[in-house]
Amino acid sequence: SRACFTDLQKTYIVLWLVLDYISDTLYVGDIVIRLRTGFLEQGLLVKDLKKLWDNYIHTLQFKLDVVSIMPTDLAYIVVGLHCPELRFNRLLHFSRMFEFFDRTETRTSHPNIFRISNLVLYILIIIHWNACIYYAISKAIGFGEDTWVYPNVTDSEYGSLTREYVYCLYWSTLTLTTIGETPPPVRDEEYLFVIFDFLIGVLIFATIVGNVGSMISNMNATRAEFQAKIDAIKHYMQFRKVSKDLETKVIKWFDYLWTNTKAVDEREVLKNLPDKLRAEIAINVHLETLKKVRIFQNCEAGLLVELVLKLRPQVFSPGDYVCRKGDIGKEMYIIKEGKLAVVGDDGTTQYALLTAGGCFGEISILNIKGSKMGNRRTANIRSLGYSDLFCLSKEDLMEAVTEYPDAKMVLEERGREILIKEGLLDESAAEESTEGKSMEEKLDRVALNLDTLHTRFGRLLAEYSDAQMKLKQRITALESKMRHQELEDF
C-alpha cells in the first residue's frame, strides 16, 4: 500500500522507517532462533548446534530467509526514501505466517473460530492488494482520464488519503464479490484487469461458500449425530406406542446428556489414540476415583491402569433403580456426580445416602466363597436425581486380574474382611473353599512344573539330535579322508 499510495509513505516517513527496522530486527532474530531449533532424527530430538545449523542452511526456507533480509533499502541513498517497493523482498518471510496458522490451528481449543478468522483475514488481504493495484493502474493511466479510473485527485472531495484508500477498497470489494455496480472499463487494459478480477472474485466466492459451509458442518456435526439418535428413538417409541410418560422421561434424559455435554462417547473419541496415550488420559481422569474403592486401595499400579481403561460411564434418570436387592451382581459402580439412596423394598424408606466419590457393588463381582448373599445384591439403590456413574463389569475385572494373581488374592482377602465385618460371611464354607483352592493351587503348580520339565526335555532332545548329527558328519568326513588316503597308497 505504501508503494501505491505515495502520500501514505511521505506523510509518515519516520514512523515507517522505525517499523521497518524493528521488523528487520525480528526477521534476523527469527533466523537465529531457527538456527537453534531442534528437529527429530529417528524419533529423537537433535540439540547439537552443528547438526541444527547444517539442517537449516540446506533448506529452501533458509535461502528465502537470507534473501528476505538482504539490505535492499540501502538503495534509499540513491533513489531517496520514497521507494518502499525496494523492500518487497521482505514478503518472502510471508510463509512464516502460514506456518504460524497451521500450528495454532492444531493447538487452539477453538479451531473452527480460528479457521473462520483466517478466512476473513485472507479475504481482507486480497481485497486490500486489489485496491492497491487498482489505484496504481489509475495513477499509471491518469486520475480522472475516464470514468473507470480513480477520480482526479485535484478535486477536494477525492484528494485526501483516507478517501483515496476507502474508495479503492470499496471498488475492490464490489468487484471481487461480483456485485458489480462500478463504472464500466473503457480501455483494453482496464477490461483485462476487470476480467481478471471477476475470475478471482468467483474463486473467492466459491472458497468462502465452501469453507464456511464445511466449518458450519463441522461445528454442528456432534449435534447432528446426537439429534439423529434422538429422532430414531422417537420414531421407535411412536411405532411401538410407548406411553407418553416414558417417552417424556427418555427425551428428558437425552436433554440432560446434551445440556451437560455428556453425549460424547469417550471410547469413540479416544479410539484413534495409541494405547499408551489412551491409558495416560484414563489414569488422569479416573485413577483417583478408583483408588477410593476399598478393595482397590494400595493395589498394584499395573492392575489399576488395566481397570481404569475398562470403566464405562452410565447416566441414570431420577427414580431409576441402579440395582435391586436380590439381583445378580454383574457390575460395580463408582459415583462421579449425583446422589443415590439406599431404600427399602417399599421404595420410599431411605436408609442411607450415597454421594460423589462413593461406590457400591464391589463385593458381588468378586465371587467370594462363603458369602451368605452369594453374588447377589444386598440392597435397593435408586437415583434421586440425574446421576453419573462409572461402571466396571465382573468380566472386565476377572480379565484384568488374570495377569495379576497376587492382586486377585489380595482383592478376595479384602472382600472377605469386609464381609466378616458386616456379618455376611459363612466362615466354615470359606475355609472349605480355601482348602479346595489350596489344592487347586498345588495342582496348578504341579502342572506348571510338568510344563517346565517338558520344555527342558524338549530342549535337551534337540541338543542331543544336533550333537548326533554333527558326530555323523564328522564320521562321514573321516571315512572320506581315509578312503582317499588308501587310494593314494595303492
Would the pLDDT of 413 be above 60? yes
Express each pLDDT in 328-348 by its tens digit.
Answer: 888 889 888 889 999 988 888
Cα-atom radius of gyration of the chain, to the nearest Å?
Answer: 40
Instruction: Determine the distance from the C-alpha atom of residue 198 to the mean position of all C-alpha atoms in its chain, rounded to a whole number.
Output: 40
Residues 390, 311: Cα–Cα separation, whole Å: 6
Query: Which grid cell sits at 377?
Result: 445384591
Would the pLDDT of 98 be above 80? yes
Task: Tell me what the mean pLDDT of segment 293-305 comes to.
Answer: 77
Residues 177, 204: Cα–Cα separation, whole Å: 8
Residues 322, 320: Cα–Cα separation, whole Å: 6
pLDDT of residue 442: 64
Architecture label for domain 273-425: Sandwich (2.60)
Q: How far is CA 463 from CA 450, 471, 473, in A?
A: 20, 12, 15
Answer yes or no: are the C-beta atoms of 362 and 295 closer than 8 Å. Answer: yes
* Angle at alpha carbon of residue 235, lines to 232 and 239, rounded to 5°: 140
Least confident stretch, 264-268, 322-326, 436-440: 436-440
pTM for this predicted structure: 0.61
The DSSP symbol for 35 reads: H
Per cent of the chain over pLDDT 90 is 12
pLDDT of residue 441: 60
Task: Grade residue 402 by pLDDT with cuts at 50, 70 and 90.
Answer: confident
Least confident stretch, 225-234, 244-253, 271-280, 380-389: 271-280
381 phi and psi angles, rounded to 5 deg: -125, 125
In this structure, the chain runs to a length of 490
Say whether 45 sits in a helix, a strand or coil: strand
Task: Grade residue 440 by pLDDT with cuts at 50, 70 and 90.
Answer: low
Fold of 110-264: Helix Hairpins (1.10.287)
SS (H, E, C) 198-231: HHHHHHHHHHHHHHHHHHHHHHHHHHHHHHHHHH
Would the pLDDT of 435 be above 60? no
Say whether 316 sits in a helix, a strand or coil: strand
Residues 331, 328: Cα–Cα separation, whole Å: 9
Least confident stretch, 56-70, 114-128, 385-399, 436-450: 436-450
Task: Tell me what the mean pLDDT of segment 26-33 comes to.
Answer: 91
pLDDT of residue 427: 63
Query: Which grid cell sits at 124?
Result: 481482507
Burial 343-365 (b: 16+ CB within 10 A, else e): beeeeeeeeeebeeebbbbbbbb
Task: Grade residue 262 by pLDDT with cuts at 50, 70 and 90.
Answer: low
Answer yes or no: are the C-beta atoms of 381 and 322 closer than 8 Å. Answer: yes
Would the pLDDT of 308 be above 90? no
Answer yes or no: are the C-beta atoms of 373 and 365 closer than 8 Å. Answer: no
Residues 326, 324: Cα–Cα separation, whole Å: 6
pLDDT of residue 136: 92
- Domain locations in the chain? 1-107, 110-264, 273-425
Least confident stretch, 225-229, 317-321, 398-402, 424-428: 424-428
Residues 383, 314: Cα–Cα separation, whole Å: 12
Task: Grade residue 168 by pLDDT with cuts at 50, 70 and 90.
Answer: very high
Nearest to 397 by CA among 367, 356, 359: 367
Would the pLDDT of 376 be above 90? no
